[in-house]
Structure 1
Amino acid sequence: MYDLRNVTKRYTRGKDTVHALDGIDLSIGDGDRLVIEGPTGGGKSTLLQMLGGLDRPTEGEVILDGTDLAGLPEARLTKVRSESIGFVFQTFNLIPTLTAQENVETALVPLGIKAGERRERAAEALDSVGLGERLTHLPSEMSGGQQQRVAIARAFVKRPKVLLADEPTGNLDESMRDEIMDVLERLWKEHGLTFIMVTHDSAIAKKAPRLATIRKGRITVEENAGA
C-alpha cells in the first residue's frame, strides 16, 4: 500500500528552517489501521497530508501502490485523491447550503457518476452511519456528531482504498468521540480499507493496533500497541 522513503519536509520561517518531517521511513500495508500521535507541531498532520497527496515532500518518496505521489503531475494527483483516498477532518468541512445527502454526493461528482446513482449511493452511505432519516437536513440542523457522520459518509461513498482522518474527534465530547470511533472502526472492518488517523487523544492511541509517534519530525512505530 504505502512505502515512504526518506520523506523530508522543510519550511522557511523568517530566517529559520523548520524540519516538519526529517527523513521519515514508513511502510503501511493493505488493510492496516495506523494511529499517528505526537505533540502539536511535531509533524503528524504534515505526514497525513503527504499520505493524502495534499502536500509534497521537499525530499523523498511517498509511494502508494507503486506510484510515487510526490512525483505525479497535479492533474494525476487530483485523480488519485478523488478515486482512492477518503478524508475526514476535525472541522467537518460541510457545505452549509447543501443537505446531508447533497454534501455526500459532492465526493462522487469528480468521478463522473450520474445523478441518480449519486443520490442512491449517498443515501446508502448516510444510512450506514446512522443518518438514513436525516438526508434532507442542513448542517446547521444537525449536532456536531451528526455533522461528522455526514463527513464520514462523504469519505466512504466513493469506496476508497485509503481513509485518512485528521483529529476526527477533536471537536467532540467524550461520549460522541466513542460513537464516532465505533463508526470509523466498523466501516474500516466492513470495507477492508487502510485506515490512518492522526490524534492527540491518548485514549484512542492506547487502543491502536499500530501506533506511530512523531516528535520533532522523527518517527517511531510500535506494533500492536495497546491492542
Structure 2
Amino acid sequence: MYELRGVTKRYTRGKETVHALDGVDLTIADGDRLVIQGPTGGGKSTLLQMLGGLDRPTSGEVVLDGTDLARLSETRLTTVRSENIGFVFQSFNLIPTLTAQENVETALVPLGVKVRERRERAAEALRSVGLGERLGHLPSEMSGGQQQRVAIARALVKQPKVLLADEPTGNLDEGMRDEIMDVLDTLWKERGLTFIMVTHDSAIARKAPRLATIRKGRLTLTEKAAP
C-alpha cells in the first residue's frame, strides 16, 4: 500500500519557484488501478516519479508498505525499485542492439538471477504479452506496439508488486493503443498488480475505476462506483 502525506515538490526556475506538487495526500491500496491525468506541467509525471522512487519530495512522505521512500539511501532505494516496482515509458527505452529476450533479461541482472533462469523467465514474460515467436528479434524488426509489449514484459519479468506506466500508449495509434491497454488490463487482473498510469488520453481515463486529476500541483480524486 502507498500512503502519500503532504507531498510537496518545488523546483527553482531562474527567480521563479515552481510547485510541481503542492501538499498531495493519497492512499493507493494493493491491487488498485489508478489513472493520473491533467494538463502538461501540472505535476502528473512528478507524482509518478515520487511513487517510483525516481525523485524525492521537497517535503512530505511517500510510504510504500511502511517504508518512507524519501528517507532511504540511494542504494536501498535502488534495491526497492529493482525488486518491487516495474516501469513502462512512452519511448519504450529498449536497447537497439539486444534482442527482445535479451532486453527483457536486463531487468533480472541486478537481482542476481542466473543466466539459465533469466532466459527462461524472459521467454515466459514475452509469451505472456503475445510475443513468444519474437524472442530473437531486434527492436528495429518490430512495430511500435510490439516494442511496447517487450517493454511491458521487461517491467513484469521481475514479478513486481507495482507497475508504473508513464504515457505507455502515447506513441501508438488508436488501434494499437487499445491492444496495449488490453494487455496491461489483463496482466493487472491476473497478477494482482498495483497499476498506476499517467495518460493524456481521455478515452483511457474514462474507463479508470480511480482517477486522480492534477492541476498546478493539487490533486483531486474521483472514484467510480463498482458496476
The TM-score normalised by the length of structure 1 is 0.99
Give the count of matched residue pairs: 227
Tell me if 1:155 matches 2:166: no
2: CA distance between counterparts of 1:9 and 1:158?
30
Matched, 1:191 2:152: no
C-alpha distance in 2 between matches for 1:224 and 1:83: 31
- Which residue identity lines up with residue 94 of structure 2 in the other structure? L
Corresponding residue number in structure 1 for 2:30: 30
Say if 1:226 and 1:200 are closer, same or farther in 2 by CA, change over 3 A: farther
Distance in 1 (CA, whole Å) between partners of 2:123 and 2:34 is 29
Amino acid in structure 2 at the alignment position of 1:27: T
* Aligned-residue offset at 1:193: 1.0
Q: Is the 8 A contact 1:85 1:161 kept in 2?
A: yes
Shift of 1:225: 7.1
Q: Look up the match of 1:95.
A: 95
SS in 2 for 1:164: strand
Matches within 5 A, 1:1-227: 1-224=1-224
> Partner letter of residue 64 of structure 2?
L
Distance in 2, matches of 1:110 and 1:86, equals 13
- Give the ranges of 4+ consecutive aligned residues of structure 1 lying more than 2 Å apart after TM superposition: none
SS in 1 for 2:82: helix
Query: How big is the alpha-carbon RMSD for the aligned residues of Structure 1 and Structure 2?
Result: 0.9
SS of equivalent residue, structure 1 residue 130:
coil
> What is the distance in 2 between the residues matched to 1:207 and 1:85?
24
Encode CA deviations 1:52-78: one digit per residue, 9 max, x unaligned: 000000000000000000000000000
Q: Secondary structure in 1 aligned to 2:83?
A: helix
Percent identity reads 85
Looking at structure 1, the residues matched to 147 and 98 of structure 2 have their Cα atoms a distance apart, in angstroms, of 12
Contact 1:108 1:158 in 2 (8 A): yes
Q: Which amino acid aligns with 2:93?
A: N
Deviations 1:96-134 (A, max 9, x none): 000000000000000000000000000000000000000
Gaps of 5+ in 2: none
What is the alpha-carbon distance in structure 1 between the residues aligned to residue 179 and residue 108 of structure 2? 26
List runs of 5+ in structure 1 lacking aligned partners.
Answer: none
Tell me, in whole angstroms, the C-alpha distance in 2 between the residues paired with 1:52 and 1:204.
21
The TM-score with structure 2 as length reference comes to 0.99
Counterpart amino acid of 2:63? Answer: I
SS of the counterpart of 1:181? helix
- Report deviation, 1:224: 1.5
